[in-house]
Amino acid sequence: MTNNDILRRIRYSFDFSDSAMMKVFAAADQKVTQEQVTAWLKKDDDPRYVSLPDPMMATFLNGLINEKRGKRDGAQPAPEQKLTNNIILNKLKIALNLKAEDLLEYLELANFSLGKHELSAFFRKVGHKHYRECKDQVMRNFLQGLQIKLRGEVDATENNEEPEAE
């Protein structure tokens, strides 16, 4: 999944407007324009589509953490220069204050089964012997389960189509 796919799905799940998206970025001390947000939310085949770089996606997720959990004291953490699905899943887990059972519930809502031990492997350090890479399938199903939990519905995203941006 691309950062743009993930951003579109998060936006849809939380029913964020463009201004709400800008507010999330601002919560991480990053000013973005409505034009930037709109370009990031375009479909891949749209000529106005702009790829969302990893540091900007990390900034958005940091802003989401700040919006949902409150800002930490001290300096804002620097956004990661390289994102993986593991980092994105962990940031969403923190932002939404989810426990392992919650993550497993969201995956179940999307008809995807995963064991608690398999899930915990995603949150280990890269060098750990039980570390496991979070694949796109897991990320896609987690985001679909999140959407079902927050909106109580499955729509076009079930068929790998993204909801339209404003």
pLDDT tens per residue across span 29-77 = 999 999 999 999 999 999 999 999 999 999 999 999 999 988 877 777 8
Per-residue confidence (pLDDT) for residue 154, from 0 to 100: 61
Residue type, 119: L
Q: Measured between alpha carbons, how far is 76 from 62 in angstroms, rounded to an integer? A: 9
The single residue listed with the structure tokens 């890269």 is: 126
Q: What is the pTM of this model?
A: 0.86
Q: Which of 123, 144, 141, 145 is nearest to 132 (CA)?
A: 123
Per-residue confidence (pLDDT) for residue 162, from 0 to 100: 47
pLDDT tens per residue across span 118-153 = 999 999 999 999 999 999 999 999 999 999 999 886
**C-alpha 98, offset from chain centre:** 13
Residue 155 banded pLDDT, cuts 50, 70, 90: low
Rounded average pLDDT over 10-35: 94
Number of H helices, E strands in the chain: 8, 0
Per-residue confidence (pLDDT) for residue 165, from 0 to 100: 47
E-assigned strand segments in the chain? none
pLDDT at 159 > cutoff 50: no
Per-residue confidence (pLDDT) for residue 158, from 0 to 100: 44
pLDDT at 11 > cutoff 60: yes
pLDDT tens per residue across span 81-116 = 999 999 999 999 999 999 999 999 999 999 999 999
Q: Measured between alpha carbons, how far is 112 from 104 in angstroms, rounded to an integer? A: 9
pLDDT at 156 > cutoff 70: no
The DSSP secondary-structure symbol of 159 reads G
Q: Measured between alpha carbons, how far is 99 from 104 in angstroms, rounded to an integer? A: 9
The single residue listed with the structure tokens 């932002």 is: 95
Per-residue confidence (pLDDT) for residue 160, from 0 to 100: 46
Q: Measured between alpha carbons, how far is 117 from 122 in angstroms, rounded to an integer? A: 9
